[in-house]
Amino acid sequence: MWGITIIACMSFPVVFGQNARLELRIIPLLFGTLYGGFLSGIFLSALIILYRLYFGIDIGFYNTVLVLLFSLPVILYFQKSFASSKKDLRVKIAVGLSFYYCFIGLTFFGILRDFSIDYLKVQIIHLIFAVVVTWFFAMLEETIREIHQLRLELHNSEKIRVISELTSVFAHEIRNPLQVTRGFLQLLNEPDLPDQKKEYIQISLEELDRANEIINDFLSFGKPSIYNNERIDVGYQLQRVVNIIQSYTLNHNVEIKTDILANCWIYANPQKLNQSLINILKNAIESMPNGGIVWITCTSTNDGYININIKDQGIGMTKKQIDMLGSPYYSLKESGTGLGMMVSFQIVRSFKGKIQVNSEKDIGTEFIILLPKIT
């Protein structure tokens, strides 16, 4: 892409005086080298020389080669520190190198061709223009990168928060089957055993399996997601999410009722989908301080979507509150972060899905998540 930009720059220069051309090839060359590294720099420079050769060998060609000879090593030298610097320093390096390149260009122009005040004026305008454009694009690029990075960190911190919140409940949940097992093992130790020996062992094994399952689900939720989408069965993931959240519902006196259609395939990242569903489910559970029922259904619509419906009997929201949903840090809870909904919305959007919210104060809330279906 940088190469194409260079060719475009060189093909449409501004010509002034005796066959002197001015253009902004430095910008793609600079950004291509700074962000792309050593090989890109060599490739782009070779491209410039070859393409200039195509226009014929004249004084302009020697000028091009000499300027590259003097500036490329400097750009490559700074590329290393550029790669490991923060935003502000990066912008400074880019602007400095752009200035240096233009200055070298201006100097050789003066040496190789006749020096005149008029040429110098034009050259200085060119230099200022190139430096300002470099500054603008470096700022733009770095700001976009920064925003992207922040967004990634936000996802992770929200996930860690949910994990730490769920951890104590999980520990409790794992202790239950262990204690049951311990009780039965103690019974098995009695000298005169009743006939239920087999049954005791069976129950103990089931309880241990259950503990194992809880640990597995917990671990798979905490695993950093490798950002790959795959073909996944929504019903299966929903079931897993319900398993993960089960202990949390018991604590809140909430019952989950599911009606899940089999074979609902979508193309998504399972860990991210789970994270987004858990955030929504947690809110549904938390909206019912005195307990209640959460209904989860999964159906397939006629217009090509999988419809996941999560409905609670909680405190509900007003129209205004629904509109605020998904804005960062919007929370009505004492210890809320107001990030859960934002992350969920972002994740669903990244799968090309939609979320609709219907809610009535003191009656309940319904989340409708539509995800594009695949066969």
**Residue with tokens 């009535």, as numbered in its chain:** 360
Residue 163 found at the interface with ligand ADP (CB under 6 A) = no
Q: Quote the least distance from Cβ 255 to ligand ADP, whole Å.
A: 16
Cβ-contact 292, 314 below 8 angstroms: yes
Candidates 175, 257, 333, 349: give the one binding ligand ADP (CB under 6 A): 333
Residue nearest to Mg ion as judged by C-beta position: 340
**Tokens in use for 300?**
């397939």
Binding residue (CB under 5 A) for Mg ion from 41, 235, 314, 340: 340
Q: Does 283 bind Mg ion (CB under 5 A)?
A: yes
- Which residues neighbour 61 within 8 Å (Cβ) at sequence distance 6 or greater? 52, 53, 55
Q: What is the distance between the alpha carbons of residues 16 and 20, in angstroms, rounded to a whole number? A: 5
Pick one of 64, 134, 276, 283: the residue that binds ligand ADP (CB under 6 A). 283
Distance CA 85, CA 82 (A): 5
Could you tell me whether strands 305-311 and 364-372 are parallel, antiparallel, or unpaired per DSSP bridges?
Answer: antiparallel
| Contact (CB, 8 A) for 313 and 284 | no
Sign of CA dihedral 139, 141, 142, 147: positive
Q: Of the candidates 176, 246, 331, 346, which one interacts with ligand ADP according to CB under 6 A?
A: 331
Task: Work out which of 24, 284, 296, 308 binds ligand ADP, going by CB under 6 A.
Answer: 284
User: Binders of ligand ADP: how many residues, by CB under 6 A?
Assistant: 21
Return the ∠ at Cα 300 (arms to 298 and 306), rounded to 5°: 70
Compute the least distance from the CB of residue 102 to Mg ion, in Å.
53
Rounded Cα distance, 184 and 259, in Å: 35
Q: Which does 48 bind (CB under 5 to 8 A by kind): Mg ion, ligand ADP, none?
A: none
The distance of closest approach from Cβ of residue 357 to ligand ADP in the complex, given in angstroms and rounded to an integer, is 8
**Of residues 76-95, which lie at the interface with ligand ADP (CB under 6 A)?**
none
Report if residue 368 touches ligand ADP, rule: CB under 6 A.
Answer: no
Contact residues: ligand ADP, CB under 6 A? 279, 283-284, 287, 312, 314-317, 325, 330-333, 336-341, 365
Contact residues: Mg ion, CB under 5 A? 283, 340
